[in-house]
Amino acid sequence: MPELPEVETIVRGLADALPGARIRRVEVARPDLVDGEDPEAFAKALKGKEIHSVTRRAKNIVIDLGGGYLLVNLGMTGRLLVAAKKDETTPYLGVRLELDGGRELRYHDVRRFGRLWRMTEEEWREWEGALGIEPLSREFTPRYLFDLTRRSRVEVKTWLMDQRRVVGVGNIYASEALFRAKVDPRRPANSLTEKEAKRIRDGVQAVLRESIEFRGTTLLDYRDSSGEPGEFVKRLRVYDREGEPCVVCGAPVTRIVQAGRSTFFCGKCQK
DNA sequence: AACGCGCCCTGTCCGC
DNA sequence: TGCGGACAGGGCGCGT
């Protein structure tokens, strides 16, 4: 569900609300959501810890507990919400962290593709180092993108979604970025020119930045940490617009399937 | 090593 | 109205 802009929006909300809060009690309603240890050990380890900061790495939410981390990946339908203890819950509640001041942090997930897990400082460094670079960082240069594509014949849309190279781009923003770059999503990665690599870099950064401004894309399930939907869906140019006119040339938007996922593009604008 | 595929799970929507 | 199939923002593990 959530790609970089959605996770970033959630993280900004949590970073405002949570630092300084202490975890008083932990309830694991859906044990399969906890990775790496049994739910009792997980709960015991978190109890009493203070939340120092909340940040993002790739599509993961990173909660610094001071000498250890709690990681959250939202999968397709995960939500991380700050709520009042007295507020109503849903059948999809997975994990509840009771905090001070009558508040709690709730993890909800209809499909349960999401995960919560703990990491030591050392595990964090190793895990984090194996991920690709952040697309909004200075490291993400046209040259970086061009050089890494040389060794891969994978179609460029699928290539963009591989989190070992560049993180944070998922199914919506891969289509949107390639539309902005005017590059056909079926092109093998190693067929790109340097100019096209630059256009793709620019397209990825532009669409991610704009989507963050609009607090992400809500197709159905996505909500920020306050339960509010994102507004970027109105700004999508090709995603979920099969048959509708291209916003640039008017030709109908095409839908194809790549690596089992829908891709949307304009066959006239994207070469 | 790189790559394609099936699978995890629940809900919604569409065509018949 | 009911039913089967396709599909949904992600990511892992398998076999080749």
* DSSP code for A132: -
Checking each nucleotide's C1' against the CA of A233, the nearest proves to be C9
* DSSP code for A53: E
The confidence score (pLDDT) of residue A89 equals 86
List Cα–Cα distances, A9 to A81, A99, A103, A146, A191, in angstroms: 12, 21, 20, 29, 34
Could you write out the three-class secondary structure of A183-220? CCCCCEHHHCCHHHHHHHHHHHHHHHHHHHHCCCECCC
Burial of A67 (0-12, 13-18, 19+ CB in 10 A): exposed
Nucleotides of strand C within 7 Å of the protein's CB atoms: 7-12
The CATH number of A4-129 is which of 3.20.190.10, 1.10.3720.10, 3.40.50.300, 3.90.180.10?
Answer: 3.20.190.10
CA–CA separation, A55 and A131 (whole Å): 15
Checking DSSP bridges between strand A69-73 and strand A78-84, what pairing results, if any? unpaired
A75 touches strand C (CB under 7 A): yes
Tally of CB atoms within 10 A around A222 = 27
Q: What would you report as the CA-atom Rg of chain A, rounded to the nearest whole angstrom?
A: 20
A219 touches strand B (CB under 7 A): no
The confidence score (pLDDT) of residue A1 equals 66
A37 is catalytic: no
The confidence score (pLDDT) of residue A177 equals 98
Tally of CB atoms within 10 A around A187 = 18
The whole model's pTM is what? Answer: 0.97
* DSSP code for A228: P
Could you read off the pLDDT tens digit of each residue along chain A, which spans 271 residues? 699 999 999 999 999 999 999 999 999 999 999 999 999 999 999 999 999 999 999 999 999 999 999 999 999 999 999 999 999 888 899 999 999 999 999 999 999 999 999 999 999 999 999 999 999 999 999 999 999 999 999 999 999 999 999 999 999 999 999 999 999 999 999 999 999 999 999 999 999 999 999 999 999 999 999 999 999 999 999 999 999 999 999 999 999 999 999 999 999 999 9
Q: For residue A44, which amino acid is it? A: K
Domain ranges of chain A: 4-129, 142-265
Q: For residue A27, which amino acid is it? A: E
For A142-265, give the CATH class: mainly alpha
A161 touches strand C (CB under 7 A): yes
**Which residues make Cβ contacts (< 8 Å) with residue A207, sequence separation at least 6?**
A173, A176, A177, A180
